[in-house]
Structure 1
Amino acid sequence: MIDSIQDSSGRDAQRLDWARGALGDPHATLERASVDAGFRSYWRSRGHGGSRIVMDSPPALEDVGPWLAMRDLLESGGVRVPQVLARDVDNGFLVLEDLGGPTLAQMMDAENADAWFDAAIGQLLRLQAIAPPAGMGEFGEALLQRDAGLFDEWFLQRHLGITLDCGESDELELAQRRLMDNALSQARVLTHRDFMPRNLMPTTPGPAVLDFQDCVRGPIAYDAVSLFKDAFLSWPLARVDEWLSRYHQRAQDAGLPVPSWETFLRDADWMGIQRHLKILGIFARLHYRDGKSKYLPDVPRFIDYLDEVLPRYPQLAALQRLLDGRIRPAMRSKAAP
């Protein structure tokens, strides 16, 4: 523990010293700008010349190179991303433009959502038009299997204490197999995997896209449904369907490989269900493994998402039975005093 504290203190001093030199301000100070960025940390500078964001990505823990490479790739395709003002790749330090405090999730409301989502769709279409580079990671079978395991292990078993019998387990596996096959059958494009209002900044032009370092080659419906069925912000299903329709028309006009509207709506719904199940598992894992409990209150949001679309698809009736017969009673029992 003492070594850890000393290492942290040394990194703090190194970060501040580098930032003052890069900013040309020997009296600049740094304050924490955000959390939950993996091993990276973000700091807002205070001093002469306006604020900047200092990214600290310790080389032994998280190489800043892939972040920079993806930023440059997105910028080359016209996507609005943070500008890099200074860099020390060897030591894992960057100075970025300060895009401000509130994210799009904090700025949106029922009145301005149409305009902001139209702007976000524009950024998404630019992102999806970029050819995934050779060697890029794939949102394929391995990732889908991992996601399916998160739901069963962490949400059902660990959080709710549910052990499925053989028949229930087979039904869940079949439903998840159908979701995976659907994802694997979709056209593949550059995929952000967390393209949601919390990772978009209300800039002009914009919105600016953040948290893009884990882009992969993946299903075309993934980012669209992530945008409108956010982990922290919900909208009526009728509005979501309308926004998905707007995205679909604009993607067609841009020459992106979307299928017919009926097929795309199913693909988006099923991709959303797969993502919602994964997120339920991740939120439970964050609570039990990582001691981060602030996400659990959003669990009902994902149950509502499932309730909205599962009735549309008899092929996934097993998930509805699991939701009604096991998950909902377990959640009521867990919430009881």
Structure 2
Amino acid sequence: MQRQIELKNWLQKVYPQASFELAFAAADADFRRYFRAIFSDGHTVICMDAPPEKMSIEPYLKVQQIFNMVNVPQVLHVNREQGFIVLNDLGNTTFLTAMQHEQTEAAHKVLLLEAIDELIILQQNSRPDVLPEYNREVMLREINLFPEWFVAKELGKPLNFKQRQLWDQTVATLLPPLLAQPQVYVHRDFIVRNLMLAEGRPGVLDFQDALYGPISYDLVSLLRDAFIEWEEEFVLDLVVRYWEKARAAGLPVPEQFDDFYRWFEWMGVQRHLKVAGIFARLYYRDGKDKYRPEIPRFLNYLRRASRRYIDLAPLYALLVDLVGDEELETGYTF
């Protein structure tokens, strides 16, 4: 509440001639919260509250400038000392909300193709040495969240010797091909919860953790989502459409679709391991239970992918040993 009071006091200085009300708009998995300032004339802006003792707003401000080729929120006012940013309002309907309202594959495909078009624009404008590299150290740190938080905390016991051997084999097999993929700007959370139904073009949110890394990463984020899931054939069709559009745009994807689909699936394994660990950490360390029920979806993704590739057999064996080989029940599926 104190932060909200401080935000309101600052806004009154920024807009001294205007009256407004503050309404809660959204919260992120980290410490950021968003409020909508509603002015007496009906105009609205979005206010980010990022407590400076918890996090810096500088990465957000930096990437906002780099990603200006897509429809990111425009920065109107900044208070670096207090960790407040005023942004233009891209509305209150995410792609996920729209999809839950219109529950047909046809409607979902329209939105996902719009998202893919924006992703290709972002990737076309990528340049090296602008964002930090999504390197082996980062990937390894991310996937180690799986044994550290999902296995040790969610399942209640750390990997035994045999399981650790399977894990080490998985890491040694998985990471080199991912690091060999061509690199582009990677949003890192290009999901339907972070895309907005906005006027003209989709709004793109939550980009502050962007890196320069594997070209297939953001497509995996989009099509292997945490909160909504599509049938395999539907996803395959959209991966084909992305691949065709990417080739036409001159992006560095393989000439053969089968090769690109392998990139997509293997990149997915890295992301799914990371997210399962993050969602467990959010529950056990941070007391946030919103994400924990979605972990089974990622276990299903992982089992399906690791079953398909002989090189990933150690991972499949590990997953079966940890959680069995039966599909786990999840939420929204189409």
TM over 0.5: yes
The DSSP-based 3-state class of the residue aligned with 2:76 is: strand
CA distance in 2, matches of 1:133, 1:226: 22
How far has the Cα of 1:79 moved from its partner?
0.6
Aligned: 1:33 with 2:25: yes
1:213/1:166 CA distance change after superposition, 3 Å: same
Higher helix share: 1
CA distance in 1, matches of 2:92, 2:280: 28
Counterparts of 1:1-337 in structure 2 under 5 Å?
Answer: 9=2, 11-36=3-28, 38-49=30-41, 50-75=43-68, 78-108=69-99, 109=103, 110-132=105-127, 134=129, 136-259=131-254, 260-328=256-324
How far has the Cα of 1:320 moved from its partner?
1.6
- 1:335 counterpart residue number: none
TM-score normalised by the chain length of structure 1 = 0.89
What fraction of aligned residue pairs are identical, expressed as a percent? Answer: 39
How far has the Cα of 1:149 moved from its partner?
1.4
How far has the Cα of 1:24 moved from its partner?
4.6
CA distance in 1, matches of 2:237, 2:326: 34
Q: State the AA in 1 paired with 2:88.
A: E
1:253/1:167 CA distance change after superposition, 3 Å: same
1:157/1:57 CA distance change after superposition, 3 Å: closer
The DSSP-based 3-state class of the residue aligned with 2:24 is: strand
TM-score normalised by the chain length of structure 2 = 0.89
CA distance in 2, matches of 1:163, 1:64: 36
1:139/1:166 CA distance change after superposition, 3 Å: same
The DSSP-based 3-state class of the residue aligned with 1:137 is: coil
Deviates more, 1:158-167 or 1:216-225: 158-167
Q: Work out the number of aligned pairs and report it.
A: 322
Contact 2:78 2:85 in 1 (8 A): yes
CA distance in 1, matches of 2:239, 2:65: 28
1:173-221, CA deviations, whole angstroms, 9 ceiling, x for partnerless residues? 1112211112111001110111110110011322111001111011001
CA distance in 1, matches of 2:326, 2:307: 21
The DSSP-based 3-state class of the residue aligned with 1:186 is: coil
1:122-142, CA deviations, whole angstroms, 9 ceiling, x for partnerless residues? 110111122345352111111
The DSSP-based 3-state class of the residue aligned with 2:184 is: strand
Deviates more, 1:127-136 or 1:189-198: 127-136
Contact 1:80 1:205 in 2 (8 A): no
1:245/1:293 CA distance change after superposition, 3 Å: same
CA distance in 1, matches of 2:126, 2:306: 33
RMSD in angstroms over aligned alpha carbons?
2.2
CA distance in 2, matches of 1:310, 1:12: 46
How far has the Cα of 1:330 moved from its partner?
12
